[in-house]
A and B are shown apart, each in its own frame.
Chain A
Amino acid sequence: MDLVSLSGNLLFIAFLLYLVGTVFFAGSIKDKRAKEREKGTGPNKWAKTGIAITIAGFISQLGYFILRWIAAGHAPVSNLFEFTTFFGMSLVGAFIVIYFIYKTAVLGLFTLPIAMLLIGYAAMFPRDIAPLVPSLQSHWLHIHVTTAAMGQAILAISFAAGLLYLVKVIDHTKKSKESFWLEAVMFGLVCTLGFIFISTGFSASGYKADFSWVDKNNVESIAEYQLPPLVGPNQGESLTEGAMEPLVEMPGIINAKKLNTVIWSIMAGIVLYLLLRLILRKRISAALQPLTTKVNADLVDEIGYRSVLIGFPVFTLGALVFAMIWAQIAWTRFWGWDPKEVWALITFLFYAAYLHLRLSKGWHGKKSAWLGVIGFIIIMFNLIVVNLVIAGLHSYAGS
């Protein structure tokens, strides 16, 4: 087997191990004997197995990373797929460290699925190993991107902790703004899952539909759809025999293909969500709540805060300091107000605000948990929307 496919297999194994790990972390909560024992006796067998499997998964993913690095000759952090998988791996790494500090198995139940969603999402993008264009041929690429991703991953722990906290403390029996928004976040996660399912499904069936279309500058080009076209491009002409006709045609200013993917993801998300509701017979967050009864809310709050405190300097170093050094060398100026740079600044400012709010009384608990959630949304915005929609110098130009 060649290096590239071996590396791909290791990634797949890692993914499966994370899945199994999650199950064990869930089991650790249900463990009867653990319930009988007083809290403070440390993790039970289920949790210990869970963390062991998680570590095995992490090592497997590390193997993917190293082999791919050897195969490509450069650190695999140079396109959206590679970056996002690395982000997922760092998230697992950060969780492992936090686990050994705080011994909270439930956090795994929230972190690992997020990591899996990230990796699954990443896998939907082109996975070819690509050579580096001149501006990327620098050690600073590796240093900047890996540090930034690790910073983001540590910060993302505060998202997992925030979710956990909110699921635990919010009263799900009453209709309230907070329970609505928490469920909205859950729905967002389900949509990501929907995106993964639908993309995998159609690509497994080999679906393809090409259109020639005219963009807003009246330039003609080809759009390759991997999902059936619900919305078609401006003046689109189908080039594929028997492909379905788009229901609506978009104006040239809108990238119909991306919009089409978004619509499909939301539809798949709705279907999945409704299914889950049918099975669970309550909201997702309400269904998760029983799993969180044993956790100490203050401890989770503290984990959220500490992960921001630990992640903020790492993020600043990677996403701003190293980024500026590299930009000075590669683009002649350390800062150019490129959208990606601006969003890194926004992330920085946001977490600075988080830390300052935490200093003043009252911004603990729920409020700070919400901030953790919003922070992650900003990070994801920078990763997804800025890369795919607001294209700038840094655009990984996925499809």
Chain B
Amino acid sequence: MKEVICECGHHNPHGTVLCESCGKVLIEKDKDKKLLDMRYEGSARRSQTYNKTIIDKIWNFFSSVKVGVWLIVITLIASALGTIFPQEMYIPPVMPASEYYEDQYGWLGQLYYTLGFHNLYSSWWYLLLIASIGISIIIASLDRGIPLYRSLKTQRVTRHEGFLKRQRLFSVSEAGSEDQTFESVKEKLKAKRYRIREEDGNILAEKGRFSRWGPYVNHVGLIIFLIGGMLRFVPGMYVDEILWVREGETKVIPETDGQYYLENHEFILETYDKENSKEEFAAAIDDKGMVAKNFQSDVTLYKTKGETVHGETPQLEKVRDDSIRVNHPLKFEDLALYQVDYKLDELNQMTFALSNKETNEEYGDLTIDLYDPKDTYDLGNGYQVEIVSYFPDFEFDENSEPITKSRIPNNPAFVFKMFTPDKPEGEVSFVAIQQTIEPFTDNEYKMSFKAVETKDVTALTVRKDLTLWVLALGGFIFMIGVAQGSYWNHRRIWLRKVDGEVWMAGHTNKNWHGLKRDIASVIDGTDLNEPADQLDKKE
């Protein structure tokens, strides 16, 4: 495309509004404007210059701040809709989502579910919105950032009269002793940390240009953050598993290729009560009842030693002891184990005695590990008990057949066969908690319940998230960018001698109040007129 050559001799890219170098207005229709549009320095932005091909159209669409704001606002409203009723992941697992919403919230809930709002944040259209914001940020930033950079780099000190005159802050002064005035102003500007450039006796004082890059920096941060979010879906980056370990149990940690094992020594649940806590808490404890104080699993982490042969118990080497608490995960390699849940007093062992129904005489005890029952228990002297069937979580099905709901011993039941010297063929007895059924005959012997041993179980989340670094980097860059753009301003003050007068103009990208104060204080004591705010005059 052809370049635009300004009268100052500078070659500007096609589409430039204000000469990059001297600031002269290059576009006819802008020439009679009272004030210049200084956003992006009147640089040549692609979106303002081309609008022919489909690519131009897409580019222009996404580079528009208006479109960007619409995208943000639509995302905002969509996000709000997702909080009307709980998302699916937060509903209690009492019934399927398809029933839950209607059951709890009536036809509105039903509608919510039908529209897919119960999983709003992972819906395709929500992700599409986020993606569009991402694209919009990239295109809008490229469209403005690069020309803006060019322009600010090329700007020269002596600005065109038309440029100065059309700045928001502008004054003309009859200068008596120019040189002296300029010296004093320069000194004061320097004291205010302006960078001074001089050319033919004219001055450009500039400060905080880097703050102009703030938005671009923060947009880069956002994009990195969004990329981090996408990485979640790359296999291997993210692990979310749950690990239940009983007290005394050692279990392989998932997602470690069988490399790491965890032993749970003890699960500890502490609550605040009035005796053990500050007296200041007394009223609150009275009011709320029990308040949890600590959830903790005392564990040992092991690593396997040498090659493990499949099916063999591996050799374990202790890595370290630790206490996993809420807010204090155990970290190793890329993984972290978090305390997330627990179950107190789960049945673990049951002890029975083989006894005579009539005389209650006992012939020995047997203790059954509910997770690993033996087939037979030999009590000596010809007394022996065989476990014919075991139902850890017993119930009767529709046909009144005993079945087990799960492998967790919530409600254990056994079919025992009792062998005694006088009944060598054995007697069969079905024993569950609180009930005994003798299916075949009236037995002479029974299994009498003696004791249970319970254990606490802890639930740990096994988490790996390799995207965190990317997200943290993105967040960090974002914060730098917003701080840069928000807490600093780009201020420029021009002083130019024009036919025995001094023309002064000022521009800032924000915080005009601050710029005005700067100017007032640097011209204090000189014969320069304070620049008027031409925006005030208009009203």
- A288 interface residue per 8 A CB criterion: no
Chain A residues, CB < 8 A from B512: 302
In the complex, per-residue mask of B292-310: 1 if CB is within 8 Å of any chain A CB, else 0: 1111000000000000000
**Residue A73 contacts which of B86, B278, B284 (CB distance < 8 angstroms)?**
B278
Min CB–CB distance A332 → chain B (angstroms): 4
Is A298 in contact with chain B by the CB < 8 A criterion?
Answer: yes
Q: Are B482 and A313 in contact (CB under 8 A)?
A: yes
The chain A residue sitting closest to B73, CB to CB, is A353
Using Cβ atoms and an 8 Å threshold, which residues of chain A touch B486? 309-310, 312-313
B457 to chain A, nearest CB (A): 18
Given known A-B contacts A135-B326, A216-B104, A349-B79, A130 and B463 have beta carbons under 8 A apart: no
Binary flags per residue of A73-107, CB closer than 8 Å to B gives 1, else 0: 10000000000000000000000000000100000
Q: A residues within 8 A CB of B66?
A: 360
A390 interface hit (Cβ, 8 Å):
yes
For A130, A216, A312, the residue with the greatest tally of chain B CB atoms inside 10 Å of its CB is A130
CA distance A135 to B106 in the complex (A): 34
Contact B291 A131 (CB under 8 A): yes
| Residue A176 lies at the interface, judged by CB distance under 8 Å to chain B | no
**Chain B residue with Cβ nearest A309:** B486
Q: Which of B75, B295, B511 contacts A134 (CB 8 A)?
A: B295
Q: Is the CB of A356 within 8 A of B82?
A: no
Q: Mark A124-141, 1 if CB is under 8 A from B, else 0.
A: 001011110111011000
Q: Any chain A CB within 8 A of the CB of B440?
A: no
Contact B536–A342 (Cβ < 8 Å): no
Q: Is B280 a contact of A4 with CB atoms below 8 Å?
A: yes
Q: In the complex the two chains form, is A359's CB within 8 Å of B65's CB?
A: yes
- Which residue of A131, A253, A329, A342 is within 8 Å of B79 (Cβ)? A342
The answer on a CB contact under 8 Å between B72 and A135 is no
Which residues on B sit within 8 Å (CB–CB) of A3?
Answer: 280
Shortest CB distance B109–A (Å): 10
The complex places the Cα of A305 from the Cα of B478 at a distance, in Å, of 20
Docked-complex contact A386 and B287, CB < 8 angstroms: no
B479 in contact with A317 (CB, 8 Å): yes
Residues of A within 8 A of B465 (CB): 328, 333
Given A134-B295, A312-B482, A349-B72, do A332 and B121 touch, yes or no (CB 8 Å)? no
Known: A316-B482, A317-B479, A337-B87. A332 touches B69 (CB 8 A): no
Number of A residues near B (Cβ < 8 Å) is 58
Query: In the complex, which residues of chain B have a beta carbon less than 8 angstroms from the beta carbon of A302?
Result: 511-513
Question: In the complex, A338 Cα to B86 Cα: how many Å?
Answer: 8
Once bound together, how far apart are the Cα atoms of A133 and B295, in whole Å?
A: 10
**Considering only CB atoms and an 8 Å cut-off, how many residues of chain B contact the other chain?**
64
1/0 contact trace for A339-350 toward B, CB 8 Å? Answer: 100110110011
Given the complex, which residues of B lie within 8 Å of A134, measured CB to CB? 292-295, 325-327
CB neighbours (8 Å) of B54 from chain A are none
Q: Mark B503-520, 1 if CB is under 8 A from A, else 0.
A: 000000011110000000
Q: Is B487 an interface residue (CB 8 A)?
A: yes
- With a cutoff of 8 Å between Cβ atoms, the chain A residues found around residue B68 in the complex are 356
B487 touches A310 (CB 8 A): yes
Please report the C-alpha to C-alpha distance between residue A33 and residue B471 in the assembled complex, in whole angstroms: 58
The answer to the question of A330 belonging to the interface, with a C-beta cut-off of 8 Å to chain B, is yes
Q: Does B170 contact A (CB under 8 A)?
A: no
Question: With an 8 A cutoff between CB atoms, is A71 at the interface?
Answer: yes
Please indicate the chain B residues that have their CB under 8 angstroms from the CB of A332 in the complex: 240, 329, 336, 338, 340, 461, 463
B238-280 CB mask vs A (1 if < 8 Å, else 0) is: 0010000000000000000000000000000000100001101
Q: Find out whether the CB atom of A128 lies under 8 angstroms from the CB atom of B284.
A: yes
A67 to B133, CA, bound (A): 46
CA distance A345 to B229 in the complex (A): 15
Please tell me if A189 contacts chain B, counting CB pairs below 8 Å: no
> A113: shortest Cβ distance to chain B, in Å?
25
**What separation, in Å, do the CA atoms of A135 and B89 have in the docked complex?**
20
Nearest 7 pairs between A and B by C-beta?
A130-B284, A134-B326, A128-B284, A339-B83, A349-B76, A313-B482, A128-B283
A-B contact list, 16 entries, CB within 8 Å: A73-B278, A128-B281, A128-B284, A130-B281, A131-B272, A131-B293, A133-B292, A137-B326, A138-B327, A310-B486, A332-B336, A332-B338, A342-B80, A349-B72, A359-B39, A360-B66
Known contacts A134-B294, A313-B482, A330-B327, then 7 further A-B pairs from the complex at CB < 8 Å, ordered by chain A residue: A71-B278, A253-B104, A253-B106, A313-B479, A329-B327, A329-B329, A353-B73
Residues of A near any B CB (own CB < 8 A): 3-4, 71-73, 102, 126, 128-131, 133-135, 137-138, 216, 253, 298-299, 302, 305-306, 309-310, 312-313, 316-317, 320-321, 324, 328-330, 332-334, 336-339, 342-343, 345-346, 349-350, 352-353, 356-357, 359-361, 386, 390, 392
